[in-house]
Amino acid sequence: MSTFALRLVRIAGRLLLTLTAVTASAVAFLLLIVVTDGAGSGLAAWLTTVAVAAGAALWWGRRRRGAARLVPFVPVVVVAALTASVCVPTVPTDRRYPPALPFVATQHWSLATGSRVAVYHYPPAKSGTRHPVPLVYLNGGPVRGISLLDHRFLQLLARQGYDVYTYEQAGGGRSDLLPMDQYTISRSVRDLGAFLHRLNKGKADVLGFSSGAVVLTRALAAPAVAVQLHRAIIAEPGPMDGPTARIKGQKGRPSARGLAPAATGPRSTHVPRYAVAFGLMRLGLLSPDTALIGQAEGDNAFTAADLGSDTASAYCARDAHRIPREDTARNFSFSPAASLRIQQTVNDAPSIAPRLRRSQTPAMLMIAECSSQVRQWETAVLAADPAIERTQYLPGVGHHLWNGLDDNNARAAAVITAFLQGRPAPLPNYPTRADIPAFLRAHQ
């Protein structure tokens, strides 16, 4: 073998050793992040990793002379730089709330539970029929700001004579943060009860969407809150308790997940610090109250593009190339850690079916043809709640039932208003409780 070839082999070998050392150190760093739960913003793991790597470099170069003794420190420098990027915040670490909306005033109400929430009011149109019972909207998330798409739908309901109130749940949007251990599904239900009490307008109609529908479903099983409800609309609910959450069932017709163009815009997950933090939290390897990143920093960092295919999954496959813009970067707000914490408390919750069977609040279930929710999450509510008077299966829409496309907002509003006014439903009452087995077998 020629001298040149030998040199190439030696260089390749050294590069391979360097790459192996860097990779092993990076993996060790991630393991230390998990073991320490990100203590000191990751500095505990970083200092340990660098110290061990430097010690190994000293041992490796102990027999070398001159500048050659520094060669083993090359991977140490590389590892130190790479892992340091996980420890340095790139966004403010104190909460930066979205600016005020130009079309509706933001009020802040302090609830009896201790939550301070952002409240929005759309009074009924002055012309036409005005409905005496207020309508309260609970958005999905679970800890997410109300999107502009939802605000437009609430304005539509107000134009039809409804006195519409909504609030961003604690930690979401412009509402104040809570200590991480206070984010629970039970707290969300108590907040709803406290909000209705503060509203002080008698019984209210409540429309809950997605995780907001979970809060509403559990409120129907909580007598102290249910007594304040006039009518309940459960739209596209997630799992209502632990037994339901463990169901691995089917979903609706195909959604746009995997078909829609990739979301555009900046992503926090392209930044090493937040890619590691959110990734490990999603895998359950870091707790929601990890010391790696604070709640406020995580909220500031997370962007709409980070939701990726989750947004596309809320639309039918046929709409994959015309998904509307749901929000603006200035209004978007999502708390991944707090949302995960609340979902964990749902997963850990015992069955509420025995209590839900005693519900007497007139209710309606709304489900979408292309729902990304597990069907059994929805049918479990229908099976358990005897007060559900009608189910409305909306064709041509995904999880986000009022999405601004075609006449979908008007169709959703027609379903809602017909129920609230006690008028005949615009769609068949389907599925009924008796239809559930056939409905699931038909994979609808």
Cis peptide before 239 (omega within 30 of 0): no
Q: Are 295 and 289 in contact (CB under 8 A)?
A: yes
- Work out the number of other CB atoms within 10 angstroms of the CB of residue 110: 12
| N-term to C-term CA, the chain | 68
| Structure token digits, residue 285 | 């390897």
Which residue intervals of the chain bear CATH 3.40.50.1820? 107-441
Cα-Cα-Cα-Cα dihedral sign, residues 350, 351, 357, 360: positive
Q: Are 372 and 314 in contact (CB under 8 A)?
A: yes
| Angstrom distances, CA of residue 376 to CA of 222, 269, 342, 427 | 22, 32, 20, 21
Q: Are 162 and 124 in contact (CB under 8 A)?
A: yes
Amino acid found at 120: Y
User: Per-residue pLDDT tens for 214-265?
Assistant: 999 999 999 999 999 999 999 999 999 999 999 988 899 999 999 999 888 8
Q: Write down the pLDDT at residue 68.
A: 53
Q: Three-class SS of residue 53?
A: helix
Q: Give the C-alpha separation, 52 to 311, whole Å.
A: 43
Q: Partners of 430 in the beta sheet?
A: none
Residue 284: exposed, middle, or buried by beta-carbon count in 10 A (0-12, 13-18, 19+)? exposed
User: pLDDT 10s digit of each residue in the chain, 444 long?
Assistant: 566 555 655 555 556 666 776 788 888 889 999 999 999 999 999 899 888 877 876 776 666 655 556 566 677 788 888 889 999 999 999 999 999 999 999 999 999 999 999 999 999 998 878 999 999 999 999 999 999 999 999 999 999 999 999 999 999 999 999 999 999 999 999 999 999 999 999 999 999 999 999 999 999 999 999 999 999 999 999 999 999 999 988 899 999 999 999 888 889 988 999 999 999 999 999 999 999 999 999 999 999 999 888 899 999 999 999 999 999 999 999 999 999 999 999 999 999 999 999 999 999 999 999 999 999 999 999 999 999 999 999 999 999 999 999 999 999 999 999 999 999 999 999 999 999 999 998 887
Q: Give the C-alpha separation, 262 to 279, whole Å.
A: 19
Pick the CATH number of 107-441 from 3.30.300.30, 3.40.50.1820, 3.30.450.70, 3.60.140.10: 3.40.50.1820
Q: Three-class SS of residue 121?
A: strand
Q: Write down the pLDDT at residue 10.
A: 58
